[in-house]
Amino acid sequence: MSASDKIFDRVDQTLDGLERVVIGALSVVALGLGTMQVTLRYLFNTGFEWNEAIFVLTTVTAMLMAGVRAVRENTHVRVDVLHMIVSRTTSKMLDVFAYIVSFALTLFYAYCGFLFANFAKMMDTASPETGIKDWIVYSIMPIAMFLFSVRYVIKIRNVLLGREVHDHHAGANETYAEERS
């Protein structure tokens, strides 16, 4: 295993652990907050004014991390029908192209999110419900988009090295038969 393989594997494993912890922890927190607010509202006719804002924040952050995870697991939305009618080489080129475009888009979103969070920091505003500085909340987007970008770099590398292929492309059955013999 080369040094670059070790680095990429370490980044992948670190992100894997981070994704699992953040998704799990924030989902449990959101579930607890949502249950608490409903219970307080409908049983005791009360509640916390900050609860809904924190509930939405934890839910959105968990879902963004789940999106990052979906890229790793190939469960993100993509058009696989094209892969069914093209050769393995064309399928590989389509994947690389799609991942490069996705990488560029998420990097652009990360940059725009950084600019917006920086602007909010400069304005020094805070949420009236929670008292949390707006720039902290808005920082979730550039961080998530950066993590998406890292995942796409790993995907591009894996496709180029032949570590990730589509099983469903024109001639897949013939290729599979050749590889077995």
pLDDT in tens, the chain (181 residues): 899 999 999 999 999 999 999 999 999 999 999 999 999 999 999 989 899 999 999 999 999 999 999 999 888 777 777 878 888 888 889 899 999 999 999 999 999 999 999 999 999 999 999 999 999 999 999 999 999 999 999 999 999 998 887 666 555 555 544 444 4
Q: Which amino acid is at 147?
A: L
CA–CA gap between residue 44 and residue 53 (Å, rounded): 20
The H or E element that residue 180 is part of is helix 172-180
Nearest to 149 by CA among 113, 109, 179, 178: 109
Q: Please count the other Cβ atoms lying within 10 Å of the Cβ belonging to residue 85.
A: 11
* Residue 45 region by backbone torsions, left for phi larger than 0, else alpha for psi between -120 and 50, else beta: left
pLDDT of residue 169: 57
In total, the chain counts a number of residues equal to 181
Q: Which amino acid is at 155?
A: K
DSSP string, 126-149: B-TTT--BHHHHHTHHHHHHHHHH
What does the domain layout of the chain look like in residue ranges? 3-180
